[in-house]
Amino acid sequence: MARILITNDDGFQAPGIRALAPAIAELGHDVVVVAPLDDQSGVGSARAGLVDRPIRTVTEDEHGIAYRGVAGTPALAVTLATLGSFGPAPDLVLSGINRGHNIGIPIFHSGTVAAALTAAGQGMSAVAISIDSEDPVHWSTAATMAAEALGWIASEPAGTVLSLNVPDRPLDELSGVRHATLAPIKNSRLMSTTAPTGEPMITLEPDRSDVPPGSDKALLRAGYVTVSPLVGIRVLPDEDAATALAKRLSSYR
């Protein structure tokens, strides 16, 4: 069995990570849990506090699993675990279960997704798992989907990353599992108001328009588990931009 790092961006005491870790441990995997001390939602791939500063850690034991909290972000938790701060480096990474979905192009802001992409950048495959509710009931459904996805990425090339969004439903009420594109960003409405102090304020209202049928947003609404394979930062094998820039800069010599 593999050594699995489990992290999240909701904090090491969050119910999602406390539901996921036992489900993976029951499969016989060597589970190491390292996550932020507190809620780090929306921090993306930030790794503040990594260099030249002691990093506070806290450990809580629950049902034979050590849950470690670090004073930092999900990406920092992945980096520390990979460097061997909590024993041998992991083979694979699970990030979640996030409370609330992570869908559309804006997932690059998500600490949950960024943790999975950070793992890929360090040579490991990873799955980011989110449940489509701010007050979830069916954590076990998402944990089951995470376990199935873990089994799949274990046989895929290193650096494989999946983003899973799971409806908050019983397992037998899911519509199925579908590959999903990321819903596009559309213009949101800006509202200008004035604070009681007289200062100007801006409110950004969310986009509630229809979305493409095969997108994660549309499929999740229809009760499907959405699977979106992701690729992190990479250099494309196209040198046209570099060549064009080199020609422009040549005039400065």
Domain ranges of the chain: 3-183+211-232
What per-residue confidence (pLDDT) applies to 253?
60
**Which pLDDT score is estimated for 228?**
96
Nearest to 223 by CA among 169, 149, 164: 169
Q: What whole-number distance in Å separates Cα of residue 249 and Cα of residue 253?
A: 8
Using an 8 Å Cβ cutoff, are 160 and 124 in contact? no
For domain 3-183+211-232, the CATH class is: alpha beta
Flag whether 210 is marked binding.
no
Question: 110 among the known binding-site residues?
Answer: no
Position 7 scores a pLDDT of 98
213-239: pLDDT as tens digits: 999 999 999 999 999 999 887 776 777
Output the pLDDT for position 209. Answer: 66
Q: Quick: pLDDT tens for 168-221.
A: 999 999 999 999 999 987 655 667 778 888 888 877 666 666 788 999 999 999
pLDDT of 19: 98
* Reported pTM: 0.88
Tell me which residues of the chain have a pLDDT lower than 70. Answer: 48-52, 186-190, 204-209, 236, 253
Annotation-wise, does 41 bind a ligand? yes
Return d(Cα 89, Cα 184) in angstroms, integer.
36
**98 labelled as ligand-binding?**
yes
Q: What is the pLDDT of residue 189?
A: 61
